[in-house]
Amino acid sequence: MLQNEPKAPYVRNRDSAFTVMMDVVVALLPLYFMAFYFYGLRALMLGLASVAAAVISDLACVLLEGKRPYPRDISSVVTGMILPLMMSAATPYYVVVSASVFAIVLVKHVFGGVGQSAFNPAAAGFAFAAACWPSQVFSYPAPFSSPAPFGAITEGLASGPAWSLFQGGVPTNDILDLLLGKFLGPMGLTNILVLATCLFYLLFRGAIGWQAPAAFFGIMVVAMMLFPRIPESGPMSLVYESTAGMWIFGGIFMLNEPGTLPKRSSSRIAYGALAAIFTILFQRFGRVEQTFAFALLLTNVFGFTFDRYSERLLRRLRRVYLATRTKLSEKKSAQRA
């Protein structure tokens, strides 16, 4: 008998929950660097406050549940890092902290903690902040205006191109500024080039699968090109929508959250497509300028259903395939005889 018998999963994958989460954290760091470049120390401090609130509330919930804290679980750090990037750099600290506490306590832990949550915690936290304090979350300071790192900021705030798109007008920003992210917008997700780099990094590291983002971005790009909601040509509409909106960031970091994403490839494609359809519908008929978080929350409900139905569908297809194959082989053998 072996003295040191190996434990149950004999074939282990190199990737664990920790490495995947760490990849996401690494991919989020350049966005924080860009936020620091545009808005100075306040961006970093907002991120720090959000992460601290998320980690402390996560620890408190785990202890309340009577479990032992697991230091390699850094999903709350990811949630805390994603949240302030979607908000204005002038957002008060209490907004960021309460959004993060809401996301962890009432969205993640009420449904059973890591990997069990029915809704994406970051999207729910953002939706909570957007519903409670729309004026603070959606009014942005100008880039390079160096807002004070602490205290409330009330002057020099304005709405960005997302608001003019929401009103049906064409933004007046320079195209180069839009592509480089130098315009009034959420502090971490204006630079589309950095976001694209993050997407490729995560895809090549294997932290996210290609199915859901491919379906999501495919449908979004086609819809933006063919049916622009502003009086502009298709490609220009795509540039405006993709730079001003939140959906590129969301499609990379929030759509692929492993807890809410379906497990099968086919259902992931359907999930991404549904998220795109909901995002477009919310853009046309919604009442908020950044609609992705709300659309994602609605899509989250269908994640489990897609998995179940795709399993049933594949089983049925396999049955039909096997039946036809046996029939064909019987025919062949009859012909030979």
Partner 1 sequence: MQPEQNSVKKNLRKELDLIFVKNPVLVTGLALAPAVVGGFTVKNGLGLSLVFGMVTIPVLVLASFLGMLSPKVPQYVRTIAYVVLAALMLIPARMLASGIAPNLFDSLGMYFSAMALNTVWLIRAPLCQEKKPQWALWEGVCQTLGVSVCILAVSAVRELLSYGTFWGNPTFLSVKFPAMAYAFGGFIVVGVTAAVLRWGIDRVHDIARLAQRQQQKWRVER
Residues in contact with partner 1 by the rule CB under 8 A: 94, 98, 106, 110, 128, 131-133
Taking the least distance from each CB to partner 1, the nearer of 133 and 309 is 133
Taking the least distance from each CB to partner 1, the nearer of 128 and 166 is 128
DSSP track, 121-135: HHHHHHHHHHHH-HH
Beta bridge partners of 140: 158
Q: Which helix (H) or strand (E) holds 211?
A: helix 211-226
Beta carbon of residue 84, minimum distance to partner 1 (angstroms, whole number)? 18
Taking the least distance from each CB to partner 1, the nearer of 132 and 317 is 132
Taking the least distance from each CB to partner 1, the nearer of 53 and 276 is 53
Q: Which two tokens stand for residue 273?
A: 């497509």
Beta carbon of residue 66, minimum distance to partner 1 (angstroms, whole number)? 13
Beta carbon of residue 214, minimum distance to partner 1 (angstroms, whole number)? 32
Matching residue, tokens 């795509």: 238
Beta carbon of residue 123, minimum distance to partner 1 (angstroms, whole number)? 14
Taking the least distance from each CB to partner 1, the nearer of 43 and 97 is 97
Give the residue among 24, 123, 114 at the shortest CA–CA distance from 65: 114
Taking the least distance from each CB to partner 1, the nearer of 91 and 191 is 91
Neighbours of 69 (CB within 10 A): 9
Taking the least distance from each CB to partner 1, the nearer of 105 and 225 is 105
Q: Which residues have CB under 8 Å from 134's CB, separation 6+?
A: 288
| The pairing of beta strand 140-141 with beta strand 157-158 | antiparallel
d(CA 36, CA 262): 35
Residues 270 and 215 sit within 8 Å (Cβ to Cβ):
yes
Beta carbon of residue 155, minimum distance to partner 1 (angstroms, whole number)? 21
Residues 136 and 89 sit within 8 Å (Cβ to Cβ):
no
| Type of residue at 228 | P
Beta carbon of residue 134, minimum distance to partner 1 (angstroms, whole number)? 9
Beta carbon of residue 257, minimum distance to partner 1 (angstroms, whole number)? 21
User: How many residues are listed for the chain in this entry?
Assistant: 337
